[in-house]
Structure 1
Amino acid sequence: MKHLAQLADGDARVALNALEMTVDSVLGKVNREAPLPIEVTQEMMRESFQRSTLLYDKDGEEHYNLISALHKSLRGSDADASIYWLGRMLYAGEDPLYIARRLIRFASEDVGLADNTALPLALATFQSCQVVGMPECDVILAHCATYLARCAKGVEVYKAMKRVKQTVEKEGGLPVPLHIRNAPTKLMKELNYGAGYKYNPDYEGTVEQDYLPEQLKMRKFFNEGLVDDCKVADGDAS
């Protein structure tokens, strides 16, 4: 066990995967009805650990390839591909909480307002994984991934936030209009902070009032029904 712990650098999940691969390898070479116990040598564990590392390096290219495959399968509404890539990651030793965090992001970025139950489900999935842990939480993650793959998709909030980011980077810190500024002191009121603000509940219907900075009065960050002017770069969405 000490040798296995050293090979796995203290990562229990990696150690368990390597041990399982070792046992499977031994069983594949001998009669499965052979009496127990089965002898597992240090050399066998070393070989299995090397194979496990090659199959999935959590800091390497394959880690990012697999999460990208999962994200794109979810976005493409392919439930079968989604749970396949999910399973590949889990059984290679990926942290289930990492996957759960990615599902939370997906629920807002790619599903968004098209299905407002997706985000609470993804958050509940994360919390459930914290409570249950592996291996039992695999079906919880699969449940969430299947729902996210099958549900309606919408990216209007995601794209609106990208437009906001682009605007802030280009325009900088534009001043808050005086009429919607906070005015807790007498001096601020004398400087016309809050002056002319229309308190919406005092009016019936829509109140004609500007909320954006003067330079952005006509700017629309939500662009429903119009030609999209916010292209997503290849590296922006996994």
Structure 2
Amino acid sequence: MSAPLAERMRPRTLEEYIGQQHLVGEGAVLRKMIDAGRISSFILWGPPGVGKTTLAQIIAHQLETPFYTLSAVTSGVKDVRDVIERAKSGRFFNQASPILFIDEIHRFSKSQQDSLLGAVEKGVVTLIGATTENPSFEVIRPLLSRCQLYVLKSLEKEDLMTLLERAVSTDVELKKRHIELKETAAMLRYSGGDARKLLNILELVVESAGEGDVVITDEMTVESLQQNPLAYDKDGEMHYDIISAFIKSIRGSDPDAALYWMARMIEGGEDPQFIARRLLISAAEDIGLANPNALLLANAAFDAVMKLGWPEGRIPLAEAVVYLAASPKSNSAYLGIDTALGIVKETGNQPVPLHLRNAPTSLMKKLGYSDGYKYAHDYDGHFVEQQYMPDELKTTRIWHAQHSPSEEKLYQQMLKCWKERYKEE
């Protein structure tokens, strides 16, 4: 039986590797290390199907060093120690350290990650971790400090088209079929920038076409996927589509749909922590100041899942989902911090006004540090008008209230304090 198309098309060299030119293009950081023949430990963070595993395999092949792989889903501390011992005994003098590739490293427990520290620090192995989750949340600080972090991006349309054209023209099985890519928009849309998903879709569409030549159209793609909604998702990436539907249902204030999509994730074996973490993000990003209790409840649900385990943990998750979906919505804080970050990037390091600076020494006092600062609690209403922004930005507005019932109270307080400054246009 032939291997799946995605496996048959897996690149073997950097020249065949598609995308991630910011890392492996000429002069890029990873390319320089590979060309020099020595790499340091690093973690690859990016969505599914963008080449994390493939890149690790190519690096090991190019450096001609032993390559060990572990899955965080199926491996324990004993497996980690066994691999480290094999790496020690199999290493030759002056040879580059063996590479230990850990897929889904975000699923490793603290004790599993601790068991890696010594070997990584001493150079017994060079660790390459792959994760779809933010490593700062999931990887312990001592291990993260010993690794570089490289972010992989979803593949661009041009990358995906290159992959499709290469597949139909070079794959040993597809070459036999005389395939014409007449329309590709549907395939690209359903793939979501995921190379593996795109090749799975292509393989499914070709198989659905029957014998003979194949002319691929968008209508043909949609029909094939509707008939086999799970077939193109053999490696389980559909949960990224479902989590998107889940979050958008909460944002759209539809608790029925949100519960449905969560049930789909639960039935599919999704990690409860993954769901709980998304609820925290949604509470902060989408509900925000319209109902600040949403973040508290989402955090409580996360804690409850950790304490209760599964399946009981589904109940506080469901409670949080209904509460978030039924809550009023505001993204003013989310927009506010992004606006502030944009201003900082554009204007650089603006000096702190002298009256806001601390003055712990007599020299600083002589220089005017803290001079003229008004202590708000000394004034009626615990407020006194003074400048808090840097001089060049003193009239800049960043936060704009969105006038939900809860947020309206904050807005009215700002109007009372600052008057004209907070009046909306």
Q: 1:219 aligns with which of 396, 401, 406?
A: 396
Residue 289 of structure 2 corresponds to 113
Q: Secondary structure at the match of 1:198?
A: coil
Q: How far apart, CA to CA, are the structure 1 residues paired with 2:71 and 2:366?
A: 70
Amino acid at match of 1:81: A
Displacement of 1:203 in angstroms is 2.0
Q: How far apart, CA to CA, are the structure 2 residues paired with 1:10 and 1:185?
A: 58
Displacement of 1:208 in angstroms is 2.2
Residue 83 of structure 2 corresponds to none
Change over 3 Å in CA distance of 1:195–1:7 after alignment to 2 = closer
Q: 1:10 aligns with which of 65, 74, 82?
A: 74
Residue 320 of structure 2 corresponds to 144
CA RMSD of the aligned region, Å? Answer: 2.7
Amino acid at match of 1:208: E
Q: 1:161 aligns with which of 337, 345, 353?
A: 337
Amino acid at match of 1:10: T
Q: Establish whether residue 77 from structure 1 lines up as the match of residue 266 from structure 2.
A: no
Q: 2:352 aligns with which of 176, 183, 189?
A: 176
Q: How far apart, CA to CA, are the structure 1 residues paired with 2:75 and 2:266?
A: 14
Q: Which has the higher contact order (CA 8 A, sep 6+)?
A: 1
Amino acid at match of 1:195: D
Q: Secondary structure at the match of 2:374?
A: coil
Change over 3 Å in CA distance of 1:190–1:87 after alignment to 2 = same
Displacement of 1:190 in angstroms is 1.5
Q: How far apart, CA to CA, are the structure 1 residues paired with 2:331 and 2:264?
A: 27
CA offset digits 1:60-101 (Å, max 9, x no partner): 3x2321111111000001111101111111221111111111
Within-5 A mapping of 1:1-238: 10=74, 54=233, 57=236, 60=237, 62-205=238-381, 206-224=383-401
- Higher fraction of strand: 2
For structure 1, the residue ranges without an aligned partner over 5 or more in a row are 1-5, 13-50, 227-238
Change over 3 Å in CA distance of 1:114–1:7 after alignment to 2 = closer
Residue 15 of structure 1 corresponds to none
Amino acid at match of 1:89: M
Residues 330 and 402 in structure 2, CA contact (< 8 A), matched pair in contact too:
no
Per the normalisation by structure 1, the TM-score is: 0.69
Change over 3 Å in CA distance of 1:73–1:55 after alignment to 2 = farther
Change over 3 Å in CA distance of 1:11–1:141 after alignment to 2 = farther
Residues 55 and 92 in structure 1, CA contact (< 8 A), matched pair in contact too:
no
Q: How far apart, CA to CA, are the structure 2 residues paired with 1:100 and 1:176?
A: 39
* Runs of 4 or more consecutive aligned structure 1 residues displaced over 6 Å after TM superposition: none
For structure 2, the residue ranges without an aligned partner over 5 or more in a row are 1-69, 77-229, 404-425
Displacement of 1:52 in angstroms is 10
Displacement of 1:9 in angstroms is 5.4
Per the normalisation by structure 2, the TM-score is: 0.40
Q: Secondary structure at the match of 2:388?
A: coil
Amino acid at match of 1:218: T
Residues 56 and 63 in structure 1, CA contact (< 8 A), matched pair in contact too:
no
Q: How far apart, CA to CA, are the structure 2 residues paired with 1:78 and 1:140?
A: 18
Residues 332 and 402 in structure 2, CA contact (< 8 A), matched pair in contact too:
no
Q: How far apart, CA to CA, are the structure 1 residues paired with 2:402 and 2:283?
A: 22
CA offset digits 1:91-122 (Å, max 9, x no partner): 21111111111101111111111112111100
Residues 286 and 331 in structure 2, CA contact (< 8 A), matched pair in contact too:
yes
